Amino acid sequence: MSDRVAARLAALGTEHGLDEPAVVALGVLLDVLAADEHAATTVRDPTEAVDRHVADGLSGLTAPEIREARTLVDVGTGIGVPALVLAAARPELQVVAMDTVRRKVEWVAATAERMGLQNVRTVHGRAEAWSAGRHRFDVVTARAVAPLGVLLEYAAPLLRPGGALVAWKGQLDDDESRTGRGAAKQLGMGEPRSQRVTPWPEARERRLVVSVKERPTPKGFPRKPGEARRRPL
């Protein structure tokens, strides 16, 4: 790891109040990304990945819903961001990393082991099918997975009352915002609120969109796997 990347990691650790084991674990994540050409991302160079993956994942700690959570499921986890990043930052947080692609789930599981994380488990499956088992989490996270309305439909059945969806988003256009508000009302979720974040100095239009579960999920949800995308609310 270069001195530049090590300094950036140390600065992120100070910014977010991380202990030394957390910073070391995040360094391992960067090393794995750099070494593994099969990692499901085009951003593998540590000088870029430290911002676009680690800093971006850590920005979730600015949301009180994540800071105070005890259980979290990351839907469409991909390379494990934010799941692995938040698990390293908060070892008391129980994290589930879920994806429909088996090789991604296996990659995340292997990387969590290399990072020394004891608080991560992985699930290969769809959120709609898994939520039918009445799992209830404090937080559902998602980064670069689906439009807001679809994410709300994935999240609502997975959340306990008072739990929250926290979605990593760029700029929201009017249509996505309007559709998200409508979906939230149908699903018993509170009106989404948008919180601007700047994970790294050059970041533009980065935000966390948060919606809290206010009422029980209505009957009929979750719909059949794939229905949320085929026929959005």
pLDDT, one tens digit per residue, over 44-54 is 999 999 999 99
**pLDDT reading at 228 higher than 80:** no
- Mean pLDDT for the stretch of residues 107-128: 96
Q: What is the pLDDT of residues 70-82, one digit of tens each?
A: 999 999 999 999 9
Q: Give the pLDDT band of residue 134 (cuts 50, 70, 90).
A: low
pLDDT at 97: 97
pLDDT at 62: 97
pLDDT at 161: 94
Spatial separation of the C-alpha atoms in residues 9 and 129, rounded to whole Å: 37
163 is in an annotated binding site: no
pLDDT averaged over every residue in the chain: 94
pLDDT at 147: 94
Q: Give the pLDDT band of residue 151 (cuts 50, 70, 90).
A: very high
**pLDDT reading at 125 higher than 70:** yes
Three-class secondary structure of residue 169 per DSSP: strand
65 is in an annotated binding site: no
Three-class secondary structure of residue 140 per DSSP: strand
Place of tokens 């090590």: 6
Nearest to 193 by CA among 16, 68, 66, 63: 63
DSSP code string of 39-105: SS-S---HHHHIIIIIIHHHGGGGSHHHHT-SEEEEET-TTTTTHHHHHHH-TTSEEEEEES-HHHH
Q: Is the pTM of this model over 0.85?
A: yes
128 is in an annotated binding site: yes
Nearest to 194 by CA among 160, 168, 157: 168
- Mean pLDDT for the stretch of residues 187-196: 96
The CATH class of 52-230 is: alpha beta
143 is in an annotated binding site: yes
